[in-house]
């Protein structure tokens, strides 16, 4: 099962799941026009080379790239385990799931 984004009360619902899927799909499409693959995109975003992304790193790069979507929703959708970081595996897996 795909992880969904929490609502303001920390619960998951159909609306936030749909929103998360749409955000990830939009993000995936956006990144596809700028990078050859998830590995290259992750390396560009992971500025401190610690093999995980935090929201600040993602926000900075997407702002530089002029990403038009909601970075908070994208980050929540990428952070499958909800620990506040996106690993390379989460990044790759969630981008693949965005097409489903």
Instruction: Compute the Cα dihedral for 32, 64, 93, 36 and give only its sign.
Output: positive
- The answer to whether the beta carbons of residues 24 and 91 sit under 8 Å apart is no
Please indicate, yes or no, if residue 3 is contained in any of the structural domains. Answer: no
Specify if 9 maps to a domain: no
Q: Mind listing the pLDDT tens digit for each residue in 48-93?
A: 999 999 999 999 999 999 999 999 999 999 999 999 999 999 999 9
CATH of the domain at 33: 1.10.238.10
Considering the domain boundaries, does residue 72 fall inside one? yes
Provide CB contacts within 8 A for 62, sequence distance 6+: 71, 74
**Domain that residue 64 falls in:** 14-97
Confirm whether 7 is domain-assigned.
no
56 or 2, greater pLDDT = 56
| Number of domains within the chain | 1
pLDDT single digits (tens) 11-32: 444 444 445 567 899 999 999 9
Residue 8 lies inside a defined structural domain of this protein: no
Domain-embedded: residue 1: no
pLDDT at 12: 44
């Amino acid at each position: 099962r795909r992880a969904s984004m929490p609502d303001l009360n920390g619960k998951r619902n159909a609306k936030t799941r749909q929103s998360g899927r749409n955000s990830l799909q939009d993000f995936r499409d956006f990144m596809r026009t700028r990078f050859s693959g998830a590995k290259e995109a992750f390396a560009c975003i992971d500025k401190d080379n610690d093999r995980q992304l935090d929201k600040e790193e993602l926000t900075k790069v997407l702002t530089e790239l002029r990403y038009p979507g909601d970075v908070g929703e994208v980050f929540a959708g990428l952070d499958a385990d909800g620990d506040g970081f996106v690993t390379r595996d989460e990044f790759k897996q969630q981008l693949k799931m965005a097409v489903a």
